[in-house]
């Protein structure tokens, strides 16, 4: 959830036709996902967000929007899931102050409610009646908040790499530290203490934590398409100021505005039959924590990606894509009037 990525990466809404910049749909979205069918700049509270669509809204099955983590992350990690566009429109976007979206830099915008309203503004601008919302990490909290606020527009909600509660997350992270080799665990604790050692001592220990739970060493190398897209991305990637303001300077404790954040109570308000939790086998989102969330959501499902960490979408792309595809197909088939 709350991690710095491993690579650096209001006005009335304009008519959709005026916003869109259309390109040819690639014959194989998985082969060249860098090409979008359309790109949009959509007005939201505080500025405009950048949105891309693979597929055509109104054609195919129910659209899906993918909600990135951070706070301050970008859509980039969802590239492998654009293979889903062979069945349904796939919508990616960067949250305000991240990536390709506007960067007004106003902390007044950095509130969960505004990020949820941002999603609804995107839905209205694109003309989507109902969509699947797939959130990862911090994005899973936004997906749950959205599903609770707009059930009539939510075909399903996927809470992947599940973050819903800061206190649960911090507890889980500290339990995972305990499972690391003794010297690494001791170094991380010292680095989080009142008189931390030098950064040269702390960085390798933090890297060991990430290798275990957030980007395992056996993950696939970036493809040529991914590398080309990063170059095209123009360096407008992760926003550390946003991350630090909302979360804090380190992975292992929260000192920002999300320090008391907890939306697990919303699980009782949503239709559990439309909720799926997805985590990696070695995820920072610990399986026992997510099972507690599952117990609060009658009818919900849980999928665990074998061999995956918090970065399972990039590490096990075929498995992740198959889980999401099967889930949405089943929910679509069960929807009234399908």
Please determine, for residue 178, whether its predicted confidence score (pLDDT) is greater than 60: yes
Q: Regarding predicted confidence, which is higher, 220 or 168?
A: 168
Domain 16-173+221-334 fold is Rossmann fold (3.40.50)
pLDDT value at residue 234 = 63
Tell me the pLDDT band of 185, cut-offs 50, 70 and 90.
very high
Please determine, for residue 21, whether its predicted confidence score (pLDDT) is greater than 80: no
Tell me the pLDDT band of 142, cut-offs 50, 70 and 90.
very high
137 is catalytic: yes
pLDDT value at residue 235 = 63
Domain layout of the chain by residue ranges:
16-173+221-334
Tell me the pLDDT band of 1, cut-offs 50, 70 and 90.
low
pLDDT value at residue 228 = 79
Please determine, for residue 71, whether its predicted confidence score (pLDDT) is greater than 70: yes
Please determine, for residue 4, whether its predicted confidence score (pLDDT) is greater than 60: no
310 is catalytic: yes
For all residues of the chain together, what is the average pLDDT? 89
Q: Tell me which of 137, 140, 160, 309 is the catalytic residue.
A: 137
* HEC assignment per residue over the chain: CCCCCCCCCCCCCCCHHHHCEECCCCCCCCCCCCCCCEEEEEEECCEEEEEEEECCCCCCCCCEEEECCCCCCCHHHHHHHHHHHHCCCEEEECCCCCCCCCCCCCHHHCCHHHHHHHHHHHHHHHCCCCEEEEEECHHHHHHHHHHHHCHHHEEEEEEECCCCEHHHHHHHHHHHHHCCCHHHHHHHHHHCCCCCCCHHHHHHHHHHHHHHHCCCCCCCCCCHHHHHHHHHCCCCCCCHHHHHHHCCCCCCCCCCCCCCCECHHHHHCCCHHHEEEEEECCCCCCHHHHHHHHHCCCCCEEEEECCCCCCHHHHCHHHHHHHHHHHHHHHHHHCCCC
Read off the pLDDT of each residue in 96-106 and give the average, rounded to a whole number.
96
pLDDT value at residue 23 = 33
Q: Tell me which of 94, 97, 102, 283 is the catalytic residue.
A: 283
103 is catalytic: no
Read off the pLDDT of each residue in 31-51 and give the average, rounded to a whole number.
90
């Amino acid at each position: 959830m709350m991690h710095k990525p491993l690579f650096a990466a209001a006005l009335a809404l304009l008519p959709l036709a005026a916003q869109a910049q259309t390109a040819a749909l690639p014959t194989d979205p998985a082969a060249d996902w860098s090409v979008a069918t359309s790109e949009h700049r959509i007005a939201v509270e505080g500025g405009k967000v950048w949105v891309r669509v693979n597929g055509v809204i109104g054609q195919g099955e129910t659209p899906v929007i993918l909600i990135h983590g951070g706070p301050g992350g970008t859509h980039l990690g969802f590239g492998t899931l654009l293979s889903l566009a062979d069945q349904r429109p796939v919508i990616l976007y960067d949250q305000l102050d991240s990536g390709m979206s506007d960067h007004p830099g106003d902390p007044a915008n950095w509130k969960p409610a505004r990020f949820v309203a941002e999603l609804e503004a995107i839905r209205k601008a694109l003309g989507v009646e109902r969509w699947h919302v797939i959130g990862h990490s911090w994005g899973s909290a936004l997906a749950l908040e959205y599903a609770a606020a707009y059930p009539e527009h939510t075909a399903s909600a996927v809470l992947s790499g599940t973050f819903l509660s800061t206190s649960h997350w911090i507890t889980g992270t500290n339990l995972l530290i305990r499972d690391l080799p003794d010297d690494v665990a001791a170094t991380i604790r010292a680095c989080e203490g009142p008189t931390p050692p030098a950064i040269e001592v702390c960085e390798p220990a933090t890297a060991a934590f990430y290798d275990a739970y957030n980007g395992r060493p056996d993950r696939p190398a970036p493809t040529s398409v991914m590398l080309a897209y990063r170059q095209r991305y123009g360096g407008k990637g992760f926003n550390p100021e946003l991350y630090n303001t909302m979360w804090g300077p380190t992975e292992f404790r929260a000192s920002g505005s999300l320090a008391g954040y907890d939306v697990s109570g919303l699980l009782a308000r949503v239709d559990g039959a439309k909720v799926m939790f997805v985590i990696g086998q070695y995820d920072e989102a610990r399986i026992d924590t997510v099972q507690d969330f599952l117990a609060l959501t009658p009818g919900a499902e849980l999928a665990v990606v074998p061999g995956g960490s918090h970065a399972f979408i990039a590490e096990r792309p075929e498995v992740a894509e198959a889980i999401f595809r099967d889930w949405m197909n089943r929910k679509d088939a069960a929807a009234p009037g399908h």
